[in-house]
């Protein structure tokens, strides 16, 4: 210790100075090396002096006269290899090593410009453009998180990727890329700077199992330009690892993800009556992303020919549809022969639908299927489509509906054509216009104060229609028919008026009035021609107005009754039955309608003639029986109607762990009885009494029964036929009426969908809820072991023609069992003067 203190004043400062100088010199040299290495220069060359500096005469340099600003002392910056920022991240760790190398572990992601790379492990040079990516091993030893590379040309999955961002070149092992409808798998791939992939040991397949496809085309060498083409050398087919002797010396496959125009190859064949043919030869026009068109033709060796055009269109969120038209000229036999004929046939189909989001107020749709009667017999495609060949009727409809915003009015314009092929008959309605107005309250105050007044409860509606139609006309005569004389046209207006008033707080009274008016362009005038001894009908053209009306008033109320269960029900169900409710709804109505068959209205007329027995006969006829909307019926009506509706429900107690819950059970959902009495009729005033019953058996089945009771007796007329007479069964038999019959039916359909529904309910099938929940949980939170096992199991899955790798071949089937039961009148018993009854059923 003494020695140390004695020499410290002499040697310690000197040692510190020498150590500081040495450290400073080392740091200076290392700093220069880092700058020079970063600048890309050789530091050894800069350390060698260019000449002996002691021989220079420093006094001869004019330091004043020279411009020191003329020479930049800062060295020029080297051009960067990467022009954009490189973004990178990893799940587990980021490790930066000596030499500017970074390593990304676990879900590594690197993004540069439009290029992206995802992999379990990525090694990249931080001051250059190269990187290497591969998958990682999980705890079970399986490889997961294989590299996935994406750029503007597509997305590629691989085992390893060695890539240069600046040049775009790379070396890839086991790359998988989708090209068109298939997948290209390569053992080793070299990616060039112009985005061309040169492959060795390649496979082209449509199988979803890329690691071990069940079938593929083995490519020795191939060159792929993504999105443009694929060129291959010798290739052959492989099925289930069996190399088949089906070879291709080379192959060229155009690849495109866009529509492209091109020639359509034809089909050929032979037909007995028209000879050899070429069919569907034409050209496909890829007009744009919304519309395409195909023009094709067909030619026969015996002179027949045809042309067709097909087009489809689609605009997202607006509309979509398709159109096709065909013209066929069929030549049979040869000229100057008795069986020679030439037939011209046309077929037009058009389907158009509008997207609901396109317009909330306007809707347009079309379903057109029009063809001349001989088209199906002369179309080759119909020979192989029995349904089209045997179809006897065709229908076409075009509809345009318009609702007006903030208005009660709406309009519908339509066109319809119905064809019957067996006799070439058409029925056409062109056009048909309907205008309707929803019910409004025209007398309601805009700024109502206080309670609603009686006239404000009046509601008015309107509906009007115009139609122009022709029926039962031959298709070759449709254009020859006169629009005024052969077509039927007319206008109809309907105005309902009603109101509802509350009387005595529990009776609802509803008066109503209905007015109808029809316009016709012609009327009939019939008379007896004594010379020819026959009826003669003349058509009188002109404007004709036909109107009628009816009025009614009805009253209804509801009566509620609450009952305690009878002792038998209480003993059966215990204290579960809380209460039984009975709802009784009686109603009564009166309807009046004048006799529009009276000659004073002008809708009916009559003429008289003498028959062969020289007896005067009077014939009453309708002058507007040929009009489109008909004519008001004859006979005065003043009917009083009544009905009683019953509903019976039971309230049950259901006990839970913490509370008591009431449940409603329907005992009789509906039981009604009704009828009417015509005050204006001179006999048979009562109508048949209607009876209906509806009972619900849980949610599975509802029993509906309806019948009627005939209140009158029967007698035999002069011809021995039963007729009703003005004698009631209540007076003679003491019953309100004779039972006419009732019926009910039940059906059940068994199909593959039935079993799917059962599997979903039980949770044991592929669509079961339990299995879906497990799958969803696994997808979100599965471990690396689980993912590896699932991936390995999928890769080792054997060939399964009925599995998920292929679409299952299923045969649609269904079995429907139906049963109907009827109990009603079977035949009239002339001895007892009423109908016998019998059960009939059908299974």
pLDDT for residue 15 is more than 70: no
Provide the residue range defining the domain that includes 226.
87-254
For the chain, how many structural domains are there in total?
A: 4
Q: Of 224 and 492, which is predicted with more confidence?
A: 492
Instruction: Flag the least confident range among 47-56, 297-306, 458-467, 585-594.
Output: 47-56
As a whole number of angstroms, the distance between CA 11 and CA 497 comes to 125
Same domain for 365 and 250, yes or no, is: no
Q: Is 246 helix (H, G, I), strand (E, B) or coil?
A: strand
Contact 104, 124 (CB under 8 A): yes
What's residue 77's pLDDT?
52
Asked if the structure places residue 534 within a domain, the reply is: no
Beta partners for residue 437, in sequence order? 409, 462
pLDDT for residue 822 is more than 70: yes
Same domain for 583 and 599, yes or no, is: yes
Q: Is the peptide bond between 431 and the residue preceding it cis, with omega within 30 degrees of 0?
A: yes
Domain boundary among 371, 391, 411: 391
Same domain for 158 and 191, yes or no, is: yes
Residues constituting the chain: 843
Same domain for 700 and 774, yes or no, is: no
Q: What are the structure tokens assigned to 557, written together?
A: 């109320």
As a whole number of angstroms, the distance between CA 592 and CA 549 comes to 9
User: Please, is 274 exposed, middle or buried when counting C-beta atoms within 10 Å of its C-beta (0-12, 13-18, 19+)?
Assistant: buried
> Where do the DSSP E strands lie in 451-593?
459-474, 488-498, 501-503, 507-529, 534-556, 559-563, 577-593
Region 110-135: mean pLDDT is 84
Q: Is 591 helix (H, G, I), strand (E, B) or coil?
A: strand
What's residue 376's pLDDT?
64
Asked if the structure places residue 150 within a domain, the reply is: yes
Same domain for 208 and 325, yes or no, is: no
Domain boundary among 334, 357, 391: 391
Q: What are the structure tokens assigned to 186, written together?
A: 């390569």
Instruction: Flag the least confident range among 168-172, 549-553, 700-704.
Output: 700-704
Same domain for 226 and 120, yes or no, is: yes
Contact 302, 275 (CB under 8 A): yes
CA distances from 477 to 295, 425, 682, 721 (A): 30, 10, 50, 46
What's residue 525's pLDDT?
93
Whole-number mean pLDDT of the chain?
79
Domain boundary among 254, 289, 304: 254
Q: What are the structure tokens assigned to 777, written together?
A: 């949980």
Q: What are the structure tokens assigned to 128, written together?
A: 């250059």
635: confidence class by pLDDT, cuts 50, 70, 90: confident
All residues at 6 or more sequence positions from 110 whose CB lies less than 8 Å from its CB, including other chains: 86, 87, 88, 104, 116, 117, 122, 124, 131
As a whole number of angstroms, the distance between CA 755 and CA 778 comes to 27
Asked if the structure places residue 71 within a domain, the reply is: no
Which helix (H) or strand (E) segment is 13 a member of? Answer: helix 2-39
Contact 722, 804 (CB under 8 A): no
Same domain for 692 and 733, yes or no, is: yes
Same domain for 601 and 726, yes or no, is: yes
Query: Which domain CATH number covers 233?
Result: 2.60.450.10
pLDDT for residue 476 is more than 60: yes
pLDDT for residue 110 is more than 90: no
Same domain for 562 and 582, yes or no, is: yes
All residues at 6 or more sequence positions from 313 whose CB lies less than 8 Å from its CB, including other chains: 290, 291, 292, 319, 320, 321, 322, 323
Q: Of 308 and 656, which is predicted with more confidence?
A: 308
In the DSSP assignment, the letter for residue 686 is B
3-state helix, strand and coil shares in percent for the chain, rounded to the nearest 5: 15, 55, 30
pLDDT for residue 76 is more than 60: no
pLDDT for residue 666 is more than 70: yes
Same domain for 775 and 667, yes or no, is: no
CA distances from 185 to 145, 146, 560, 640, 708 (A): 18, 15, 78, 85, 77
Asked if the structure places residue 225 within a domain, the reply is: yes
What's residue 257's pLDDT?
65
As a whole number of angstroms, the distance between CA 282 and CA 305 comes to 14
Same domain for 222 and 268, yes or no, is: no
Same domain for 670 and 766, yes or no, is: no
What's residue 25's pLDDT?
39
- Strand ordering across the sheet containing 815-829: 741-750, 815-829, 834-842
Beta partners for residue 527, in sequence order? 536
Q: Is 391 helix (H, G, I), strand (E, B) or coil?
A: coil
Asked if the structure places residue 285 within a domain, the reply is: yes
Instruction: Flag the least confident range among 241-250, 294-303, 635-644, 772-781.
Output: 772-781
Asked if the structure places residue 37 within a domain, the reply is: no
What would the pLDDT profile of 24-68 be if each residue is shown by its tens digit? Answer: 333 433 333 333 333 333 333 333 334 444 444 444 434 444 444
Q: What are the structure tokens assigned to 175, written together?
A: 């790359």
Region 711-732: mean pLDDT is 88
Asked if the structure places residue 170 within a domain, the reply is: yes
As a whole number of angstroms, the distance between CA 647 and CA 832 comes to 38
The pTM assigned to this predicted structure is: 0.60
- Phi, psi (deg, nearest 5) at residue 775: -65, -40
All residues at 6 or more sequence positions from 67 whose CB lies less than 8 Å from its CB, including other chains: none
As a whole number of angstroms, the distance between CA 820 and CA 746 comes to 6
Q: What are the structure tokens assigned to 220, written together?
A: 């020795």
pLDDT for residue 672 is more than 90: yes
As a whole number of angstroms, the distance between CA 121 and CA 145 comes to 8
End-to-end C-alpha distance for the chain, whole angstroms: 123
Nearest CA-CA partner of 490 in 633, 602, 621, 631: 631
pLDDT for residue 806 is more than 70: no
Asked if the structure places residue 548 within a domain, the reply is: no
C-alpha 645: how far from its chain's center? 41
């Amino acid at each position: 210790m003494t020695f140390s203190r004695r020499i410290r004043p002499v040697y310690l400062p000197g040692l510190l100075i020498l150590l500081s100088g040495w450290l400073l010199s080392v740091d200076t040299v290392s700093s220069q090396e880092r700058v020079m290495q970063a600048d890309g220069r050789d530091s050894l060359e800069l350390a060698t002096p260019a000449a002996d500096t002691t021989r220079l005469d420093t006094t001869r340099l004019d330091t004043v006269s020279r411009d020191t600003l003329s020479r930049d002392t800062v060295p020029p910056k080297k051009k960067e290899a990467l022009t954009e920022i490189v973004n990178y991240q990893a799940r587990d760790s980021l490790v930066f090593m000596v030499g500017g190398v970074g390593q990304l572990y676990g879900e590594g992601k690197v993004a540069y410009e439009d290029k992206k790379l995802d992999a379990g492990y990525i090694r990249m040079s931080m001051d250059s453009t190269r990187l290497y990516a591969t998958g990682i091993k999980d705890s079970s030893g399986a490889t997961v998180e294989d590299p996935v590379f994406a750029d503007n040309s597509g997305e590629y999955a691989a085992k390893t990727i060695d890539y240069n961002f600046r040049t775009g070149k790379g070396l890839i092992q086991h790359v998988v890329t989708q090209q068109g409808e298939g997948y290209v798998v390569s053992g080793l791939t070299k990616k060039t700077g112009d985005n061309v992939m040169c492959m060795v040991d390649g496979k082209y397949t449509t199988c979803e199992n890329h690691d071990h496809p069940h079938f593929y085309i083995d490519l020795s060498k191939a060159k792929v330009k993504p999105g443009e083409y694929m060129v291959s050398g010798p290739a052959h087919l492989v099925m289930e690892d069996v190399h088949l002797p089906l070879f291709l010396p080379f192959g060229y496959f155009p690849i495109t993800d866009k529509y492209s125009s091109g020639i359509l190859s034809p089909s050929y064949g032979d037909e007995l009556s028209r000879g050899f043919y070429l069919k569907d030869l034409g050209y496909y026009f890829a007009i744009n992303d919304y519309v395409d068109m195909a023009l094709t033709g067909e030619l026969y060796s015996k002179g027949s020919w045809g042309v067709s055009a097909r087009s489809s269109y689609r605009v997202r969120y607006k509309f979509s549809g398709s159109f096709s038209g065909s013209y066929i000229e069929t030549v049979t036999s040869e000229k100057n022969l008795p069986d020679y004929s030439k037939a011209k046939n046309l077929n037009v189909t058009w389907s158009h639908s509008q997207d609901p989001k396109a317009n909330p107020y306007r809707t347009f749709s079309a379903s057109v299927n029009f063809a001349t009667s001989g088209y199906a017999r002369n179309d080759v495609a119909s020979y192989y489509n029995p349904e089209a060949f045997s179809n006897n009727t065709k229908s076409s409809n075009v509809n345009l509906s318009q609702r007006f915003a903030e208005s009660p009015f709406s309009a519908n314009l339509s066109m319809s054509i119905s064809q019957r092929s067996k006799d070439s008959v058409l029925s056409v309605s062109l056009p048909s216009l309907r205008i309707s107005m929803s019910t409004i309250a025209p007398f309601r105050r805009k700024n109502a104060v206080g309670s609603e007044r009686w006239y404000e409860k009046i509601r008015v509606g309107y509906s009007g229609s115009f139609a122009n139609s022709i029926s039962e006309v031959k298709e070759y005569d449709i254009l020859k028919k006169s629009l005024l004389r052969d077509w039927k046209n007319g206008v109809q207006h309907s105005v309902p008026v009603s109101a509802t008033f509350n009387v005595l707080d529990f009776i609802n009274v509803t008066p109503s009035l209905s007015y109808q008016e029809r316009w016709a362009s012609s009327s009939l005038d019939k008379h007896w021609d004594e010379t020819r001894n026959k009826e003669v009908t003349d058509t009188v053209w002109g404007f004709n107005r036909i109107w009628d009306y009816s009025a009614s008033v009805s009253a209804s109320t509801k009566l509620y009754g609450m009952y305690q269960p009878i002792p038998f029900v209480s003993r059966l169900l215990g204290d579960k039955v809380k209460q039984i409710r009975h709802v009784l709804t009686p109603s009564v109505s009166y309807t009046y309608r004048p006799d529009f068959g009276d000659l004073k209205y002008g809708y009916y007329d009559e003429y008289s003639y003498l028959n062969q027995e020289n007896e005067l006969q009077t014939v009453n006829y309708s002058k507007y029986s040929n009009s489109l909307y008909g004519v008001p019926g004859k006979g005065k009506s003043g009917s009083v109607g009544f009905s009683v509706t019953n509903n019976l429900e039971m309230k049950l107690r259901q006990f839970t762990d913490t509370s008591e819950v009431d449940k409603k059970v329907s005992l009789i959902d509906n039981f009604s009885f009704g009828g009417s009495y015509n005050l204006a009729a001179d006999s048979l005033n009562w109508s048949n009494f209607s009876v209906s019953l509806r009972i619900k058996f849980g949610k599975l089945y509802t029993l509906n029964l309806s019948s009627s009771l005939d209140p009158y007796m029967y007698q035999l007329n002069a011809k021995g036929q039963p007729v009703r007479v003005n004698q009631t069964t209540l007076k003679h038999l003491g019953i309100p009426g004779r039972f006419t019959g009732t019926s009910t039916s039940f059906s059940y359909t068994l199909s593959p969908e039935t079993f799917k529904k059962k599997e979903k309910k039980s949770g044991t099938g592929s669509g079961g809820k339990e299995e879906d929940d497990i799958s969803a949980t696994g997808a979100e939170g599965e471990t690396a072991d689980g993912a590896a096992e699932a991936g390995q199991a999928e890769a080792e899955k054997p060939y399964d023609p009925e599995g998920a790798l292929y679409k299952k071949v299923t045969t649609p089937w269904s079995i429907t069992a139906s049963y109907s039961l009827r109990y009603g009148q079977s035949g009239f018993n002339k001895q007892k003067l009423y109908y016998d009854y019998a059960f009939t059923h059908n299974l």
